[in-house]
Amino acid sequence: MAMKLGIAFDLLQKERNERSLCHLYFPSVLFFLIMEVLFWSVFFSGKHKSSLVNDPDQPENSKILKVAIIGAPNAGKSTLSNQLVGKKVFAVSKKVHTTRSQAQGIFTEDDTQIVVLDTPGLINASKVKRHQLERSLLVDPWISVREADLVLVVVDVSDRWTRNKLGFEVLSCLAQNQHIPAALVLNKVDLLKNKSMLLDITVELTEGIVNGKKLEVRSAVQRFCEWESGDVEVGVTSPCPRVPGVKSGTAFASPAALPNEGLCKEDLRKLRDKQGWPCFQDVFMLSAIDSEEVETLKRYLVVGAKPGPWKYHSGVLTDQSPEEICTSAVRERLLEYLPQEVPYNVSQTVEMWHENDNGALDIMVKLYVTKENHLKMLIGQGGHMIGRIAREAGQDLMNVFRCEVKLKLSVKMKK
């Protein structure tokens, strides 16, 4: 089935479950457990570190596009970011606030570099204060949008409570950055049983206007031909109705500026009454777990890139350090398997990161907990839980490192 709402995708359903064998060894000690995971992966950490500090290799006609991916928590932003980059460099889980701060993923194709700005879910200041969350959860999405050439707004259409209305935080972010083109991504369409609802959802979220025109349905093939021929310029805003918010081209005065500083009380009131945004340039329907659908989105981004110098060396996949990727992989599994508030109260420290003469890595990550019952849950009966976390974190890291690795996880009570 193919549908076109700005851009359409064949709605495909498939899952990939790539597993590898890991060697586990663990001695148990009271309140202290070390898991050792031996595995191979795809990308030398030492090479990655050197690439980050190297000057970007610039082709003769280099092009670049910086893309900010925003949306409500758990909309599937990081999963989509991983698919665009082609490697799992961002943590993903079913719990909210898996992404704690902005991180960048990079994919380079021929003379074109796409920088993907993966962001925390948009939330308001009251939630940050009430739950004592990091300030980065509040401000990083706004900073990313200000740095971007294009904004992708991701909506989970499988969530019946949120799919028919863009959140106030999303709308206010778009309203204050009207000069930056935006596209709507309807995500997880494979989980929507009644696909005919997609048209109604799109009308509500776009107010029936896409690319400055009344919403129309066209084939994906037709739109793709327009990209290739240059009849449609990706990354160039089209005239759109006046919407509440700051004037086009207005940006924050400084990176420390708070969300909604550019909106008056009347604008804020109007935004709270809105459901959609009439200035989306295109609309995508996809499942972030389906690589074929994401490839079409990648092509859209590549075609829309503009002449400019690359930001990173072509060998770089993310601006995160190998240590950050390692702790991110561990945190993802903590969120996946520990209940309620427990994973949010576990802190990590990389105690050792040593590369042997033969290129193998010895890594030790220490996990700190503040309550004895949390420690028992983290270790699990007979070390089962910490073993599972170590094993699956190691499997994820196989897609990031290309050398023999010994990963040791230790658990300790924080004094």
Q: What is the CATH number of the domain that holds 172?
A: 3.40.50.300
User: Which residue among 255, 282, 307 closes a domain?
Assistant: 307
Cα 147 to Cα 132, 141, 144, 406, distances in angstroms:
27, 10, 5, 38
pLDDT, greater one: 19 or 321: 321
How many other β-carbons are positioned within 10 Å of the β-carbon of residue 201? 22
- CA–CA separation, 199 and 171 (whole Å): 20
Tell me the β-bridge partners of 36.
25, 408
Q: Is 2 part of a structural domain of the chain?
A: no
Identify whether residues 193 and 257 lie together within a single domain: yes
Q: Is 92 part of a structural domain of the chain?
A: yes
- CA–CA separation, 177 and 243 (whole Å): 11
CB-based contact 206:283 (threshold 8 Å): yes
Amino acid at 337: Y
Identify whether residues 249 and 329 lie together within a single domain: no
What confidence category does residue 36 fall into, taking pLDDT thresholds of 50, 70 and 90? very low
Identify whether residues 110 and 133 lie together within a single domain: yes
CB-based contact 332:91 (threshold 8 Å): yes
Identify whether residues 182 and 117 lie together within a single domain: yes
Tell me the β-bridge partners of 186.
155, 285
Q: How many domains does the chain have?
A: 2
- The residue ranges of DSSP E strands in 271-376, in sequence order, are 280-286, 306-307, 347-355, 361-369
Identify whether residues 292 and 383 lie together within a single domain: no
Q: Is 312 part of a structural domain of the chain?
A: no
**Section 400-415 average pLDDT:** 79
Query: What are 238's two structure tokens?
Result: 């089209």
Identify whether residues 360 and 276 lie together within a single domain: no
Is 24 exposed, middle or buried, given 0-12, 13-18 or 19+ CB atoms closer than 10 A? Answer: middle
For a pLDDT cut of 90, what percent of the chain falls above it? 29
Mean pLDDT of the chain: 75
Identify whether residues 249 and 333 lie together within a single domain: no
pLDDT at 139 over 70: yes
User: Which residue among 307, 330, 348 closes a domain?
Assistant: 307
Q: What residue numbers bound the domain in which 400 lies?
A: 31-44+321-413
- CA–CA separation, 375 and 371 (whole Å): 6
**Section 267-273 average pLDDT:** 83
Q: Is 241 part of a structural domain of the chain?
A: yes
Q: Could you report the per-residue pLDDT of 341-366, keeping only the tens digit for each?
A: 888 889 999 898 888 887 777 788 89
**Section 397-404 average pLDDT:** 70
Of 3-7, 126-130, 180-184, the range with the lowest mean pLDDT is: 3-7
Identify whether residues 191 and 274 lie together within a single domain: yes
Query: What are 328's two structure tokens?
Result: 């991110």
pLDDT at 28 over 80: no
Q: Could you report the per-residue pLDDT of 202-245, keeping only the tens digit for each?
A: 999 999 999 999 886 554 445 555 655 655 555 444 445 556 54
Q: Is 372 part of a structural domain of the chain?
A: yes
**Section 147-166 average pLDDT:** 93
First CA to last CA across the chain, in angstroms? 58
Identify whether residues 409 and 328 lie together within a single domain: yes
Q: Is 273 part of a structural domain of the chain?
A: yes
Query: What are 76's two structure tokens?
Result: 């599937």
Identify whether residues 300 and 352 lie together within a single domain: no
pLDDT at 129: 52
- CA–CA separation, 194 and 197 (whole Å): 6
Query: What are 273's two structure tokens?
Result: 């009454």
pTM tops 0.95: no
